[in-house]
Amino acid sequence: MRMNRLVYVLFILLLGATRADTAMIEGVEFKESYTAQEKTLSLRGVALLRYMVFIKAYVGALYLDKNQKADQIFNDVPKRLELHYFHAISAADFAESTRTLIEENLTPQERIRLGPQIAQMNALYRDVKPGDRYAATYLPGVGTELALNGKPLGIVPGVDYAAAYFGIWLGDNPIDKGFRDHLLGKD
């Protein structure tokens, strides 16, 4: 009897320890921190994006320096956005959506200037299946790295491109304002 209690207590302690360094949303875990350029980025927020109100498209997590203010998100600072998908999406659909959503927030001159970088990012996309995870990590002086399931696919240079790309989810006219606000910890 005493051994059963000990095993139970140890199990609870271990369960708590494994959960302390992760956040969970819709059954998907995200780490509480990520290290980029020897700098620790802290989880700012997690969110669920729904399509047509009731279809769960993906969940996301935003990582920033713990002292970073939300209104400084587009400055030349490290940031990371992870998106975990619930449905299969083709690389072509990613490319078309990225182009459309970025261009909605740009002037005609910005579209021309960032066109090569948009095309470069779109060439990196791969088809995803349920459970896959894209991560976009902006590193000052390097660019925006796109990775799929932890495997780097390439880097697109430029802080201006990073601002446009992250603006899809975090800008003034994002894909979903509630999603943006949850990622930024404004809930």
Mind listing the pLDDT tens digit for each residue in 76-99? 999 999 999 999 999 999 999 999
- 182: confidence class by pLDDT, cuts 50, 70, 90: very high
- Topology classification of domain 21-183: Chalcone isomerase (3.50.70)
Q: State the pLDDT at residue 186.
A: 86
Cα 40 to Cα 122: distance, rounded to the nearest angstrom:
28
Element (H, E) at 94: helix 91-103
125 DSSP 8-state letter: -
- pLDDT tens digits, one per residue of 59-77: 999 999 999 888 899 999 9
pTM for the whole structure: 0.86
Q: State the pLDDT at residue 52.
A: 78
- pLDDT tens digits, one per residue of 162-178: 999 999 999 999 999 99
Does pLDDT of 4 surpass 60? no
- pLDDT tens digits, one per residue of 25-68: 999 999 999 998 788 999 999 999 998 778 899 999 999 999 98
How much of the chain, in percent, has pLDDT values that exceed 70? 89
Give CA angle at 124 (122, 125), nearest 5°.
Answer: 75
Domain range summary for the chain, segments of one domain joined by +:
21-183
The rounded mean pLDDT for the chain is 89
70 DSSP 8-state letter: G
Strand positions, DSSP E, the chain: 22-25, 28-31, 33-36, 39-51, 55-64, 79-85, 133-139, 143-148, 151-156
